[in-house]
Structure 1
Amino acid sequence: MLPRLITAAEDELDAAGRMLSAARDAAAGEEFTIDGQRYRRTGRGSSTWRPSALFVTPADQPGR
């Protein structure tokens, strides 16, 4: 079971890395696609409260 757990963890880490990279490249309000799923970077373009925070939601969900 351990090899399967390691593979699953590596897959999740890879997906999270691709999401973070795409979100960093997107401007606030811009949409991007990862693995066939559309996402929207939400929030402000810049913030003094949490300047390194990125907020991402699925693009097909209404609201913020």
Structure 2
Amino acid sequence: MRIEDYWEDISLYLIEYINYKDQLIMVNDFLVVPEGFSEEQIKKEILSLFPDARSIDSIHEYSEGLCEK
């Protein structure tokens, strides 16, 4: 039994972006992505999955971890 059989590597990023619903709001969120995602892939994901996101101010890798398969 190997750890890779039950767990996958992930990265935890702190994302700061501008959100617009009724007014502009600066949002700070944590985002969990598979290990190896590039910043460009993360930007595309945010802009496609969060329809109110207007611009991304920063993306910081916060930590690494494991996620149960």
User: Which structure has greater strand proportion?
Assistant: 2
User: Which structure has greater helix proportion?
Assistant: 1
Higher relative contact order (Cα pairs below 8 Å, separated by 6+ residues): 2
Q: TM-score range by the shorter chain?
A: under 0.3
Q: Given the two structures, how large is their TM-score scaled by the length of structure 2?
A: 0.23
